[in-house]
Structure 1
Amino acid sequence: MFALDDITVLSLENGISAPLCTRMLGDFGAEVIKVERPDVGDVNRHWDSVVYGDSSAHAWVDRNKLSVELNLKNESGTAIFHELAGEADIVVQNSSPGVVERLGVGYEDIRQTTEDIIYLNISGYGRDGPYSDRKAYDMVMQGETGLIPMNGSPDAPAKIPLSVCDINAATYGTISALLALFHRERTGEGQELDVTMFGGMLSWLGYFPHKYWHNDELPERIGMRHHLLTPYGPHETADDQYVNYAILSEAHWELLCEVVLERPDLLEDDRFADNERRVENRDVLEPMIESFIAEESRDYWAERLTEAGIPWGDVNQLDEVLDHPQTEHLELVKELETEDGPVPYIDNPIASDSLEFAAEPMPDLGEDTDDVLGALGYSEKEIELLRTEDVI
Structure 2
Amino acid sequence: MLALDDITVVSLESGISAPLCTRMLGDFGAEVIKVERPDVGDVNRHWDSVVYGDSSAHVWVDRNKLSVELNLKSDAGLELFRELAAEADVVVQNYSPGVVERLGVGYDDVAAINEDVIYLNVSGYGRDGPYSDRKAYDMVMQGETGLILMNGSPDAPAKIPLSVCDINAATYGTISALLALFHRERTGEGQELDVTMFGGMLSWLGYFPQKYWHSDELPERIGMRHHLLTPYGPHETADDQYVNFAVLSEAHWELLCEAVLERPDLLADERFATNEKRVENRGALEPMIESRIADEPRDYWAERLAEAGIPWGDVNRLDDVLDHPQTEHLDLVKELETEDGPVPYIDNPIDSDSLEFAAAPMPDLGEHTDDVLDALGYSSEEREALRESGAI
Aligned partner of 2:114 in structure 1 is 114
Deviation string, structure 1 residues 219-277 (Cα, Å, up to 9, x no partner): 00000000000000000000000000000000000000010011111000000000000
Structure 1 residue identity aligned to 2:382: E
Aligned partner of 1:287 in structure 2 is 287
Aligned partner of 1:339 in structure 2 is 339
- The whole-number CA distance in structure 1 between the counterparts of 2:258 and 2:292 is 13
Aligned partner of 2:86 in structure 1 is 86
1:54-203 alignment to 2 at 5 Å? 54-203=54-203
How much has 1:312 moved relative to structure 2?
0.1
Query: Is 1:237 aligned with 2:237?
Result: yes
TM-score (norm 2): 1.00
1:218-367 alignment to 2 at 5 Å? 218-367=218-367
- The whole-number CA distance in structure 1 between the counterparts of 2:389 and 2:102 is 21
- The whole-number CA distance in structure 2 between the counterparts of 1:315 and 1:29 is 36
- The whole-number CA distance in structure 1 between the counterparts of 2:377 and 2:87 is 12
- The whole-number CA distance in structure 1 between the counterparts of 2:38 and 2:255 is 63
How much has 1:162 moved relative to structure 2?
0.1
How much has 1:165 moved relative to structure 2?
0.1
Structure 2 residue identity aligned to 1:138: D
Aligned partner of 2:27 in structure 1 is 27
Which secondary structure does the structure 1 equivalent of 2:34 belong to? strand
- The whole-number CA distance in structure 1 between the counterparts of 2:235 and 2:101 is 53
How much has 1:86 moved relative to structure 2?
1.0
Which secondary structure does the structure 1 equivalent of 2:328 belong to? helix
Structure 2 residue identity aligned to 1:188: G
- The whole-number CA distance in structure 2 between the counterparts of 1:216 and 1:65 is 48
- The whole-number CA distance in structure 2 between the counterparts of 1:82 and 1:355 is 32
How much has 1:191 moved relative to structure 2?
0.1
Q: How many residues align?
A: 392
- The whole-number CA distance in structure 2 between the counterparts of 1:262 and 1:367 is 65
How much has 1:367 moved relative to structure 2?
0.5
Structure 2 residue identity aligned to 1:337: E
Structure 2 residue identity aligned to 1:174: T
Where structure 2 has 5 or more consecutive residues not aligned to the other structure, the ranges are: none
- The whole-number CA distance in structure 1 between the counterparts of 2:74 and 2:282 is 63
- The whole-number CA distance in structure 1 between the counterparts of 2:121 and 2:334 is 31
Where structure 1 has 5 or more consecutive residues not aligned to the other structure, the ranges are: none
How much has 1:87 moved relative to structure 2?
1.1
- Runs of 4+ residues deviating >4 angstroms: none
How much has 1:75 moved relative to structure 2?
1.2
How much has 1:3 moved relative to structure 2?
0.3
Which secondary structure does the structure 2 equivalent of 1:303 belong to? helix
- The whole-number CA distance in structure 2 between the counterparts of 1:152 and 1:383 is 54
How much has 1:76 moved relative to structure 2?
1.0
- The whole-number CA distance in structure 2 between the counterparts of 1:110 and 1:377 is 20
- The whole-number CA distance in structure 1 between the counterparts of 2:290 and 2:56 is 38
- The whole-number CA distance in structure 2 between the counterparts of 1:247 and 1:192 is 45
TM-score (norm 1): 1.00
Which secondary structure does the structure 2 equivalent of 1:193 belong to? strand
Aligned partner of 1:16 in structure 2 is 16
Deviation string, structure 1 residues 275-319 (Cα, Å, up to 9, x no partner): 000000000100000000000000000000001000000000000
Which secondary structure does the structure 2 equivalent of 1:307 belong to? helix
Which secondary structure does the structure 1 equivalent of 2:183 belong to? helix
- The whole-number CA distance in structure 2 between the counterparts of 1:247 and 1:74 is 61
How much has 1:207 moved relative to structure 2?
0.1
- The whole-number CA distance in structure 2 between the counterparts of 1:107 and 1:78 is 14
